[in-house]
Structure 1
Amino acid sequence: MKSTIIKAVFALAIGYSGYYFLLRSPSSTKGKLAPDFESQLIDGSKFNLSSLKGNYVLLDFWGSWCPPCRRDNPNLVKLHNQFYNESFKDANNFHIVTVALEKNDKTWKKAADRDGFKWEHQIVEQAKVVLLSPLAQKYAVKDIPAKFLIDPDGNIVGVNQPYSEIKAYLQSKI
Structure 2
Amino acid sequence: MDRKNILLIFGFIALAMVGFFGWKVFHQSSEQAFSNGDLFPEIRLTNPEGDSISLSSLKGNIVLVQFWASWCGPCRRENAELVPVYEKYKNDEMQDGGTFKIYSVSLDKKKSAWRKAIANDGLTWSEQVNDSGDFKSSIAQAFSVHQIPTTYLLDQNGMVIGVDLSIMQLENILENRKK
1:162 counterpart residue number: 166
Alignment of 1:103-122 (within 5 A): 103-122=109-128
Gaps of 5+ in 1: 1-9
1:134 counterpart residue number: 138
2:156 counterpart residue number: 152
Instruction: Report the Cα distance in structure 1 between the residues aligned to 2:36 and 2:143, rounded to whole angstroms.
Output: 11
Aligned residue pair count: 162
Instruction: Report the Cα distance in structure 1 between the residues aligned to 2:84 and 2:166, rounded to whole angstroms.
Output: 13
Contact 2:48 2:115 in 1 (8 A): no
Instruction: Report the Cα distance in structure 2 between the residues aligned to 1:23 and 1:156, rounded to whole angstroms.
Output: 20
Structure ID, larger Rg: 2
- Post-superposition, which runs of at least 4 consecutive aligned residues in structure 1 deviate over 3 A? 17-24
Matched, 1:101 2:107: yes
Tell me, what secondary structure is at the counterpart of 2:106?
Answer: strand
Instruction: Report the Cα distance in structure 1 between the residues aligned to 2:82 and 2:90, rounded to whole angstroms.
Output: 12
| Offset from partner CA, 1:41-63 (integer Å, 9 cap, x none) | 22222221111111000011111
Instruction: Report the Cα distance in structure 1 between the residues aligned to 2:52 and 2:130, rounded to whole angstroms.
Output: 13
Alignment of 1:1-174 (within 5 A): 18=24, 21-22=27-28, 25-26=31-32, 28-127=34-133, 130-174=134-178
Tell me, what secondary structure is at the counterpart of 2:131?
Answer: strand
| Offset from partner CA, 1:101-135 (integer Å, 9 cap, x none) | 112211111111011011110011111xx112122
Percent of aligned pairs sharing the same letter = 32
Quick one: which amino acid aligns to residue 138 of structure 1? Answer: A
Instruction: Report the Cα distance in structure 2 between the residues aligned to 1:24 and 1:36, rounded to whole angstroms.
Output: 22
| Offset from partner CA, 1:39-93 (integer Å, 9 cap, x none) | 1122222221111111000011111111111111111111110110111111211
Contact 1:57 1:97 in 2 (8 A): yes
Instruction: Report the Cα distance in structure 2 between the residues aligned to 1:57 and 1:136, rounded to whole angstroms.
Output: 18
Change (3 A) 1:28 1:44: closer
